[in-house]
Amino acid sequence: MKLYDTKEKAITEMKRRKTMYIEDTENDFTYMENESSENCIVFADELSKTGDDREGEFHICVAELEVE
């Protein structure tokens, strides 16, 4: 987990990581656009070609924390 001082910086990093995983042809991760949102990107591991079966998944998400 990383902390950023602005939401914009966190979103920029999230988009960078999304692009990195999509462009990496050596991995078995599939970007799940229909399961992703503005604040959370979902990747499936070893997604089957015949359906939504998968070995696993991971999420890259942004959450805002209040600081006093």
- The answer to whether residue 43 is domain-embedded is yes
Query: Across residues 2-24, what is the average pLDDT?
Result: 91
Reported confidence tier of residue 11, pLDDT bands at 50, 70, 90: very high
pLDDT for position 51 = 64
Q: How many CA atoms lie within 13 A of 26 on its CB side?
A: 1
pLDDT for position 42 = 92
Residue numbers of the domain that contains 25:
7-61
For residues 7 and 31, what is the distance between their CA atoms, to the nearest angstrom?
Answer: 22
Residues 25-56 pLDDT 10s: 888 888 989 999 999 999 988 777 766 677 78
- The answer to whether residue 57 is domain-embedded is yes
Question: How many separate domains does the chain show?
Answer: 1
- The answer to whether residue 16 is domain-embedded is yes
Do 10 and 62 form a contact (C-beta atoms < 8 A)? yes
pLDDT for position 68 = 81
Mean pLDDT of the chain: 87
- 9: helix, coil or strand? helix
- The answer to whether residue 24 is domain-embedded is yes
- The answer to whether residue 14 is domain-embedded is yes
- The answer to whether residue 44 is domain-embedded is yes
